[in-house]
Structure 1
């Protein structure tokens, strides 16, 4: 273990930083550290994996660093959230390699866009990239409590119930129908 790393060196190859220039390096050190998603996801990305994920997301849509963090969190179903201290050095490295360009987007934000070299690099690594996104999809499936679809549906139900219950006095028949709908939903979920 090396203690604290200076992230401004994160984009360089060589020296003792060469083991982890791309962010998540599979060692215990940062995996269980700060940020939502530490702990069991500490080995989510091996050495060099994060650059593939970040580059693929930028290829799909030019993005700011914060948007990339949220996109990775969404792709992993909330099971893993990379820290800025991992994502920004990865972006610096990708820029140094010529795989992305960075433009000022106002308000101190930087927009990252893939280059033809970056597209060629992704194409040459299509299989590992595909495997990484499959692994994130599997993590999302295992972490269904964080599923955007389930969260949306749960909030939808809570909102509908709140609106109906505050709209005025319910008749006995309405109360019975609402209770039955909720019981039916619970029964379906238990049988899945």
Structure 2
């Protein structure tokens, strides 16, 4: 245990030394490594679980959008926000995927543009679109359940408080050590504080 503690501390100290060397006399640039091992400019805006996984294939997304439009006529942006709301913010399709899919649904005769104020196109489901949904009702139910399940899981494990605390720590470290004129003793003190916190988190059950 003692060996583990000191090796853990040594790793932090080496990381702080690298950070101090990078900061001294130089402005921070995108790609510079911060004291927590990440980009100084990284705001933690990553999908949960690391790499972005593909939520739906093309045919599945068409059914999801068609179902939402059949429920309520919507603009493309409304659809993105609706899916984001269903998943509690865990997933939102990009405009680069949604708008071409709407164009395809329109060409297939499953949706049609409605008159609306402003430049945004609002779409409603056609009779052919509602028939298509009925024919694929079981698949639509599975897809919508997938969205609801993702939202429920996100609400159970939402790391927002941890992200906020880590963000505060990054800001504090950047303001304190970004100048490059901090005494080594101060760096060792802060590294020891973070080491102690890391060990306390590891002991949580």
TM range (shorter): 0.5 to 0.7
Matched, 1:57 2:68: yes
**What residue number does 1:84 align with?**
95
Deviation at 1:57, TM superposition (A): 0.3
- Aligned CA-pair RMSD: 2.4
Alpha-carbon distance in 2 for matches of 1:101, 1:95: 6
Structure 1: 5+ residue stretches without partners:
1-34, 148-192
Say which structure, 1 or 2, has more relative contact order (CA 8 Å, 6+ apart).
2
Residues paired across the two proteins, number? 114
**What residue number does 2:144 align with?**
133
Post-superposition Cα deviations, 1:34-71, rounded to whole Å, max 9, x if no partner, equal x9748555221124110011000001000111111000
Moved over 6 A (4+): none
Q: Give the TM-score normalised by structure 2.
A: 0.51
What aligned pairs does 1:21-60 form with structure 2 within 5 A after superposition?
Answer: 37=47, 39-60=50-71
**What residue number does 1:96 align with?**
107
Matched, 1:120 2:127: no
Deviation at 1:77, TM superposition (A): 1.8
Q: Give the TM-score normalised by structure 1.
A: 0.54
